Amino acid sequence: MSGTPRLSAIDRSAPAMGRALPGLPVRETVFVQLLRLCLASMGDFFAGEFRKIGINEHCFHVLCLLMATEGERAAPSELADLVGTSRANMTRILGMLVDDGFAVRESEMLDGRRYMIHITEAGREAARRAVAQLSGPLHSAFSGMSDRDLDMFEAMLRKCILSFTDNASPFRPSETVK
């Protein structure tokens, strides 16, 4: 299903959900639906590109982050935070990168239980090849938006992230159920 029918489905279902579920914050529910649809659409758009490249999106993101860090190295927990994934999933991602020869694990000098991830020359080359193949699709993905639209979109996404992480209080059923 393309974007227009999906958006129409959200537009049709939101008022019905509001009527069926009194007290449901419909506007906020629509925002959640729109964000999920946006992420799913983005994933669908880029999935084929990453298949062509032979590397997944998270691995590519980690390689880019490693190339951008001082010394081209980082702790797994830092990478998990920057990629926006769990530490367990980052362990899996790093395992793939190490197995493919794109990164190596090195124990910390002061604490042998901790380790840092370093990018290899093969990892640098894989990232460069991926950038060359993704540049066009990245531009294409946002081609329907003007520079002003993109600036506003970025600002709103940043506000949304802060709203979720800094302002929202966690839901505690025991406090609201009487």
The DSSP symbol for 163 reads: I
- Alpha-carbon torsion angle 140, 145, 151, 153, nearest 10: -100
Q: What pLDDT is recorded for position 26? A: 93
Question: Hey, what domains does the chain have and what are their CATH numbers?
Answer: 10-34 (no CATH), 54-164 (1.10.10.10)
Residue at 49: amino acid letter: E
- Model-wide pTM > 0.85: no
H helices then E strands: how many in the chain? 8, 3
From CA 169, how far away is CA 149, in angstroms rounded?
30
63-106, pLDDT tens digit by residue?
999 999 999 999 999 999 999 999 999 999 999 999 999 999 99
Measure the CA angle with vertex 142, ends 28 and 11; round to 5°: 30
The DSSP symbol for 85 reads: -
